[in-house]
């Protein structure tokens, strides 16, 4: 069973190990999360555990969300996420999931939404080469030809062109846990993780742990 935990990105810093080597790290406030629903093969066709994270005001939730949480006796929670599991979990509705399940040295996978950078051209978005900047060239950062002429008479799907850059869900795997602060629910992870400060994250242990 590999139930993850939800958290918030607090920022990056660096720490020094015993040999004086500087290690870039990201600090994550992870949990505590409340089990708000348990699904089984008999009732829903698959096994999963739904977690709720970050208490909020009830006026910020709609009636279906409030009713779902009140049915399980949970307080108003801002974020809900479901984790599929292989077998029926041995946890109960209302129980708390914290970072106590993680250990220093664990390899984790962190999922979050990357920083949105707005509309970008092909040079920035796809690392296209720019045209010559001198000798009368009028093609500096233009995309150039996007397809053939009469045949096929259309642009092939998937053509790399200008468009929205960033703002997509991505997962960074095999990040190492450097420090754990259970008192403040903090995970210190080596390296960078997706998103800006305050970004919602899903943290799971890597399967090769």
How high does pLDDT run on average in the chain? 89
In the structure, what pLDDT confidence band is assigned to residue 160 with cuts at 50, 70 and 90?
very high
Q: How far is CA 21 from the centre of its chain?
A: 28
- Which pLDDT value is given to residue 121? 94
Beta bridge partners of 28: 9, 187
Per-residue pLDDT of 179-189, as tens digits, reads 898 888 899 99
Confidence bin at 197 (pLDDT 50/70/90): very high
Cα–Cα nearest to 97, from 5, 185, 2, 189: 5
Question: Alpha helix (H) ranges present in the chain?
Answer: 41-44, 63-71, 122-126
Q: How many helices (H) and strands (E) does the chain have?
A: 3, 12
Q: Judge if pTM exceeds 0.85.
A: no
pLDDT tens digits along 87-141: 877 788 888 888 888 888 889 999 999 999 999 999 999 999 999 999 999 889 9
């Amino acid at each position: 069973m590999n139930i993850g935990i939800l958290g918030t990105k607090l920022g990056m810093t660096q720490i020094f190990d015993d040999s004086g080597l500087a290690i870039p790290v990201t600090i994550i406030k992870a949990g505590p999360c409340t089990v708000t629903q348990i699904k089984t093969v008999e009732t829903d066709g698959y096994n999963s555990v739904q977690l709720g994270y970050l208490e909020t005001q009830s006026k910020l939730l709609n009636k279906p969300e409030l009713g779902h949480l009140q049915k399980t006796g949970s307080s108003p929670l801002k974020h809900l996420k479901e984790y599929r599991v292989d077998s029926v979990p041995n946890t109960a509705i209302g129980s708390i999931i914290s970072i106590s399940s993680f250990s220093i040295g664990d390899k984790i996978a962190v999922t979050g939404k990357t920083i949105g950078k707005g509309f970008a051209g092909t040079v920035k978005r796809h690392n296209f080469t720019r045209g010559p900047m001198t000798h009368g060239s009028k093609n500096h950062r233009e995309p150039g030809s996007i397809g053939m002429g009469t045949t096929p008479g259309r642009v092939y799907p998937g053509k790399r062109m200008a468009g929205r850059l960033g703002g997509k869900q991505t997962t960074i795997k095999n990040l190492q846990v450097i420090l754990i602060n259970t008192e403040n629910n903090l995970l210190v992870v080596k390296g960078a993780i997706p998103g800006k400060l305050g970004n919602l994250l899903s943290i799971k242990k890597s399967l090769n742990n």
